[in-house]
């Protein structure tokens, strides 16, 4: 037995050490000591799912017909409801049979789309900082990742185009995400995506747009869907989720829509890997899409007020934070005199230790995230005010 050693696959070794590990361990130990940590670390909505969705879930769960395996790509009525929603919200026509697939949350769908589209020798291009799965799903598929800095949306697109033109072999997939996690950056209008479509066609690059925060917008801003750009279906797909707009993160349901070949390839992978989402969740999601537009508006108003509390509060202590018009995050650069040269991970550890506030260090999202912190707007306004007071006390004490 002495020589026997279990060796996980090489692909596991392509993943870096988990950057939230130290932070999570400290949070756990603080909580064990009954210390109240204000947790703004993760974009995990704390507000309840609208009651009508929960009621439908319970009712459908009791029906024996929903207790079997469902269909991997989602039942037809669910895909049809998604097509109606895209028509209503973004004026996009989609065929429920060939252009829409349901996923076990958009993260699962995105990961398997990478597996369906990329393999050893292929490259995907993505902006840094990034939502981690945008990098690691590519790595897990055995492909390479090339990054460009996300300083601002226009420049990063120019950089992506420049890199794609110069790199050989050319990247096969371009990954975009607006409103963006973690930076909360947004694009002004559909012109941005029209440029992407033209370029993708010219260079034969497939596009994956993560639109998880497409409905989480403030101040009257309406995020454009990549699918509304003329020709988008020829070059790519867009992912949406039920997690954020409807506070259904635990339900695990999202969608990919768009290019038939890509949807079909994802369907093939999923057909082997899963038997579909619990049908009661699919039925509850149909009700959500039919009946909960108003709930989304109310939720967005909450995020907007919380955003103002955090941005105004942090600006008062010298952080120079811009108010985002989308996503559920504030992305803030820590002034050097306050971080005292510490990297964002150590600064986040200090905030947890001495201010009892948990926020995500920008470095966890890539090199270009260093010196920034990502604050999730998941707690209520009073708790956010308390968080700002705690941070203020910590940074002013030095």
Ligand X SMILES: Cc1ncc(COP(=O)(O)O)c(C=O)c1O
Interacting residues with ligand X (CB under 6 A): 43, 105-107, 131, 177, 181, 210, 212, 241, 243, 249, 254
Shortest distance, position 282 Cβ to ligand X, whole Å: 14
DSSP one-letter string for 134-169:
HHHHHHHTT-EEEEEE-SSHHHHHHHHHHHHHH-SS
Nearest residue (CB) to ligand X, 15 versus 167: 15
| Other residues' Cβ atoms within 10 Å of the Cβ of residue 208 | 27
**How far separated are the first and last CA of the chain, in Å rounded?**
55
Distance CA 74, CA 222 (A): 28
For residue 105, give the 3-state DSSP assignment. coil
Nearest residue (CB) to ligand X, 184 versus 388: 184
Closest of 71, 54, 27, 98 to residue 257, by C-alpha: 98
Shortest distance, position 210 Cβ to ligand X, whole Å: 5
| Other residues' Cβ atoms within 10 Å of the Cβ of residue 195 | 15
Contacts of 162 (CB under 8 A, 6+ apart): none
Nearest residue (CB) to ligand X, 243 versus 282: 243
Nearest residue (CB) to ligand X, 49 versus 356: 49
Which tokens sit at 109?
A: 């769908």
Nearest residue (CB) to ligand X, 303 versus 394: 303
Shortest distance, position 257 Cβ to ligand X, whole Å: 14
Q: How far is CA 304 from CA 73, 114, 183, 346, in A?
A: 34, 33, 16, 29
Nearest residue (CB) to ligand X, 306 versus 356: 306
Closest of 263, 217, 210 to residue 241, by C-alpha: 210
CB 97 within 8 A of CB 320: no
Nearest residue (CB) to ligand X, 244 versus 313: 244
Distance CA 206, CA 184 (A): 24
């Amino acid at each position: 037995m002495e020589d026997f050693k279990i060796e996980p696959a090489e692909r596991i070794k392509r993943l870096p050490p988990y950057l939230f590990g130290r932070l999570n361990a400290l949070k756990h130990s603080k909580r064990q000591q009954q210390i109240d940590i204000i947790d703004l670390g993760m974009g995990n909505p704390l507000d309840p799912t609208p009651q009508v969705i929960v009621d439908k879930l319970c009712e459908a769960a009791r029906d024996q017909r929903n207790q079997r395996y469902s269909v991997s790509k989602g039942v037809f009525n669910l895909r049809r409801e998604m097509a109606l929603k895209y028509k209503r919200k973004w004026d996009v026509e989609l065929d429920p049979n060939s252009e829409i697939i349901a996923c076990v949350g958009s993260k699962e769908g995105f990961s398997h789309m990478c597996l369906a589209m990329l393999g050893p020798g292929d490259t995907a291009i993505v902006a840094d900082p990034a939502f981690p799965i945008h990098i690691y799903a590519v790595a897990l598929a055995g492909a390479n990742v090339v990054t460009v800095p996300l300083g601002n949306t226009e420049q990063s697109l120019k950089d992506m185009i420049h890199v794609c033109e110069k790199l050989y072999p050319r990247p096969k997939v371009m990954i975009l995400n607006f409103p963006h996690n973690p930076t909360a950056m947004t694009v002004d209008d559909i012109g941005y995506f029209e440029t992407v479509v033209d370029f993708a066609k010219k260079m034969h690059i497939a596009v994956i747009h993560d639109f998880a925060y497409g409905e989480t917008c403030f101040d009257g801003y309406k995020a454009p869907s990549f699918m509304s750009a003329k020709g988008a279906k020829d070059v790519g797909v867009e992912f949406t989720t039920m997690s954020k707009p409807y506070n259904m993160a635990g339900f695990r349901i999202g969608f990919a829509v768009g290019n038939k070949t890509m949807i079909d390839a994802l369907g093939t992978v999923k057909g082997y890997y899963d038997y579909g989402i619990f049908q009661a969740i699919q039925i509850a999601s149909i009700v959500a899409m039919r009946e909960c537009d108003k709930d989304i508006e109310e939720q967005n108003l909450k995020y907007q007020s919380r955003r103002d509390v955090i941005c105004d509060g942090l600006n008062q202590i010298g952080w120079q934070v811009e108010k985002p018009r989308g996503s559920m995050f504030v992305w803030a650069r820590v002034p050097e005199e306050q971080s005292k040269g510490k990297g964002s991970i150590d600064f986040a550890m200090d905030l947890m230790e001495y201010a009892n506030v948990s926020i995500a260090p920008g470095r966890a999202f890539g090199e270009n995230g260093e010196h920034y912190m990502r604050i999730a707007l998941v707690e209520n306004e009073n708790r956010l005010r308390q968080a700002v007071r705690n941070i203020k006390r910590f940074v002013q004490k030095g």
